[in-house]
Chain A
C-alpha cells in the first residue's frame, strides 16, 4: 500500500536543521521501500528558497509568514494540518527536537492518533507502521505498532542517516496565511550569549559530574570541548547543585543522548545517568574511583584525577592535531 509521508522541516539561519534532514532521510527510505510520495513542510523566513533546493521531495508546502520566526504552536500545527489534508499523508515525521515534541502532540490531537516519540527505528509493512523507541530513559527499548494510521512519529537525532542528493523538488506549494487571532503570542525571546547546540543533537559530548568539585572548574571541560568541537553536558547532581543549568543535564530526568563520542569526567554513573547516555556510540570515562559504575558502560576508561587527565588529553589533541571525522 503506498501512502504519502509528510516531513516537517525545521530551519535556522537559512539552513535546514540536521535532525530534520535525518527525518527526511528516514521518510525517503520508507517511500523507496513502500512506494508513495515524500512531502515536506517549511515555515518562516526563506522557506520557499529552502524548499526549492530540497532533494528527494515530490512536493513542498511553504508559508514564509513572519509569525513563524518564533515558535507558534497552534499556527504551525494548523499549517502542517493543511499540508496533511492536501497530500492525504498518513505518516507524519518530525525531528525529535523540542519543536518536534511539542508540535507532535498538537498534530496527534487533530488527527485522533498518538505520537511515538524519539523513534530509533521505523518499519512499514502492509500499511502497518512499527516504531522502536527508548522507554524509561533508555533502560529499555519499546516496540509499538500503530493499530491505525495516520501516525505521528518524532525521530531521535543522531540515529537516522541522511540520504544523498536525489531528484530536485518537483513542486513548491504555498499554504494559507494564518488567519484569526493567535491563541498566544511571543512577547520576548532570550537568546543565550553563545548559541549552544542542543545536547541531543551533539556529535561529541564532554560531560562533568561531582568530581569537578565546583562550578568554576567546568572551564576545564569547556576548554576540552572547544578543542573537540563538543558540547558540555552534566550529571544531575551538579545541575541540582546549581553548578550547571538544568538544560545541560543528561539522564532520566534530563536528556537522553546518543552522540558519536561521550566523555564522562568525574561522573560516577548513577543508574539514571547511565540510562540517558548508554546509547552513545563510544563512551570514555575518566574517574578517580576504579569501581565507579561508569566504567561498566565505558568503552575506554582512564582511572585518575580528571584535573590531570583532561588537560593532558586536550594538550595531546592539540599536539596531534584534531581531525574530527
Chain B
C-alpha cells in the first residue's frame, strides 16, 4: 500500500502568541514568528504514526511525506523521514511572511500533483492547530473524486478495502471505502513515536524531492488578527466548601447563569 501523509508546519501549541505589527498603521494580520518553536501539527503527527503502523502491520508498503510551503517546511519533512516515512516531497510555494495559503490553494495544489501520482491512501490531520480551518483533507479528496472519512480513530484493513472508524455527532460510524481513499486523523488513532538519534541519522539518506507548485489566486484575504476579547478580572470567592453559598449567589444574581 502506498500512503501519502500531509504535514503542516505550525507554532508549537505551548506558544504564547505575539501579534506582528500591521503595515503602515493597519491592523496586525499575522503572528510574530521570531523566537517561536515550529513543529509538525499534532494531528498530522498522528496521521503519520498511523501510516507507519499500517505499513508495519502489512509488512510492506511505502510512506511518502508531503508538505506544501516555503523552505521552512523541509524541517518537518526531515522529522517525518526520521519518524518512518520512506521519502518526502516538498511542494514548494512561496508564502508572504506570516500569512498562510488558504484551504482552496493548498487543496488545489495537492490535487494537481496527486493526479499525476499513484497512491492508495491519503492521510491528513483533522485540522492544523494554527488556522484550524479543517478542510484540506476533505477538499483534496473531493477534488480527486475519491472517498474520504474525517475524524478517524481506527483503521482496519479488510478484503480489497479499508474500514475507517470515525467520530460523527457523538457516535462512531464504521465506513468501508475502496482504495484509493483519504482520511483525517483524530486523537486516539495512533501514538506518535519520536525518533532516536539513529533514525534521525538514517533519515538524512532518504530521498526528498522538491517540486514547484502552481498556486492559484487565494479565496480568503486575511483582514486582521487580534487578541481574543479580554476577560473581566475575576475574583476568588473564598476558600473551601464554605465559599459555595456565595458562589451560588453570584452565579444566580450577578452572572445569572443558573
Contact = CB atoms under 8 A, between A and B. Distances in A.
B257 A245 contact: no
Given A105-B103, A253-B42, 10 more contacts: A73-B150, A102-B168, A105-B150, A145-B221, A148-B219, A183-B146, A190-B173, A192-B171, A299-B235, A300-B234
23 contacts: A73-B147, A98-B151, A105-B134, A108-B103, A109-B139, A112-B104, A112-B219, A113-B219, A117-B134, A134-B132, A137-B129, A140-B19, A145-B220, A186-B176, A197-B170, A261-B255, A271-B13, A271-B14, A283-B234, A299-B235, A302-B236, A325-B256, A325-B257
Given A136-B130, A298-B234, A301-B235, A272 B13 contact: yes
Given A73-B148, A145-B220, A303-B239, A253 B228 contact: no
A191 interface: yes
B225 A141 contact: yes
B114 interface: no
Given A139-B228, A281-B257, A71 B236 contact: no
Nearest to A198: B170
Given A282-B251, A300-B235, A113 B104 contact: yes
Contact of A184 (B133, B175, B241): B175
B123 interface: no
Contacts of B251: 261, 282, 284, 300
Contacts of B79: none
Interface residues on B, range: 35 or more
A316 B248 contact: yes
A300 B150 CA distance: 38
A138 interface: yes
B227 interface: yes
Contacts of A134: 132, 228
Contacts of B135: 101, 104-105, 108, 114-115, 117
Chain A interface size range: 35 or more
Chain B binding surface, main DSSP class:
mixed
A306 to B, nearest CB: 10
Interface string B15-58: 11101000000000001000000000011000000000000000
Contacts of A101: 134-135, 150
Nearest to B43: A253
A309 B245 CA distance: 11
A130 interface: yes
Contact of B220 (A144, A247, A308): A144
Contacts of B229: 141
Contacts of B102: 114
Contacts of B171: 189-192
